[in-house]
Amino acid sequence: MSEHIKVEHRGAVQMIRLDRPEKKNAITRAMYVAMTEALKAGDADPAVRCNVFLGVPGAFSAGNDLADFLAYSTDGAHGSEAFDLLEALARSEKPIVSGVDGIAVGVGTTIHLHCDLTFATERAWFHTPFVDLGVTPEAGSSLIAPLLMGRQQAFALLGLGEPFSAERAKACGLIYDVVAEDELEEAVFHAAERICAKPPEALRIARDLMRGDREELVVRIREESRLFAARLTSDEAKAAFQAFMTRKKG
């Protein structure tokens, strides 16, 4: 349970909302647990036909809580919560639609690689500064992003850590569509309802075919997770987390 994850059912749609606006929806360990539980519960519930991920106005998510990363880098207090969510996403049984307004950093971007349709507003931007933080790509992104976007765009995203605008994200296949801010939730919900109206078994088979081998993805997520965890204790990462936590705001 986390007060920062709100789960709501609208008909056959399960809405999972990140709701920690004061920290730009930075994701804590409790939030990962709550999202994993909701996703698995939705997959197990025959009344749910589609899962939806949403943030708050201006922030889908600022990524993993850097205070948690800093704690791990100094005292090893890291759990498997993030990786449990990533595996649940990789193994998800039902279509996932997401909506992004504003920032989508780190896992706030890579989560959408596991979604079937992602809508973003014009002011959305996608940023994975893993290397700049001294860490490495996660969430299966090193496997999915090159397939989805081509090697060079994937390198710009995951290697150079270039922020991608919504338009650029759409042009390279990272997201499905760009909509106005006041139309985002309606667009997401409408897409989810269209999914719910399809014959579920045929859609499940079609989705499984398109997503390919889940085991290969899970193996990659585990390999990335091992490397990521090792990098968290590196001097490069410690310095980057410390710099963020102690920065002075202008």
- Positions in the binding site for ligand COA (CB under 6 A): 23-24, 26, 62-67, 103, 105-106, 129-130, 133, 244
- Nearest approach, Cβ of 142 to ligand COA (angstroms)? 14
Strand 13-18 vs strand 59-61: parallel, antiparallel, or unpaired?
Answer: unpaired
- The tokens describing 170, both together, are 């759409």
For ligand COA, the nearest residue by Cβ is 106
Identify which of residues 133 and 179 has a Cβ nearer to ligand COA in the complex.
133
- Nearest approach, Cβ of 174 to ligand COA (angstroms)? 17
- Nearest approach, Cβ of 241 to ligand COA (angstroms)? 9
With CA atoms as reference, report the closest residue to 176 among 164, 185, 187.
187
Q: Which residue has the tokens 């499984």?
A: 208
- Nearest approach, Cβ of 162 to ligand COA (angstroms)? 14
Identify which of residues 28 and 92 has a Cβ nearer to ligand COA in the complex.
28
Identify which of residues 88 and 104 has a Cβ nearer to ligand COA in the complex.
104
- The tokens describing 220, both together, are 């990659």
Identify which of residues 40 and 155 has a Cβ nearer to ligand COA in the complex.
155
Identify which of residues 66 and 154 has a Cβ nearer to ligand COA in the complex.
66
Identify which of residues 42 and 55 has a Cβ nearer to ligand COA in the complex.
55
214 alpha carbon, distance to own chain's centre? 17
For helices 214-232 and 235-245, what crossing angle results, to 10°? 80
CA distance 12 to 30: 26
Strand 96-100 vs strand 117-121: parallel, antiparallel, or unpaired?
Answer: parallel
- Nearest approach, Cβ of 25 to ligand COA (angstroms)? 8
Identify which of residues 22 and 201 has a Cβ nearer to ligand COA in the complex.
22
- Nearest approach, Cβ of 156 to ligand COA (angstroms)? 17
With CA atoms as reference, report the closest residue to 228 among 61, 102, 63.
63
Q: For residues 120-131, b (16+ Cβ closer than 10 Å) or e, as one string?
A: bbeebbbbbbbb
- Nearest approach, Cβ of 247 to ligand COA (angstroms)? 8
Torsion sign, CA atoms 1, 27, 157, 16 = positive
Strand 125-127 vs strand 164-165: parallel, antiparallel, or unpaired?
Answer: antiparallel
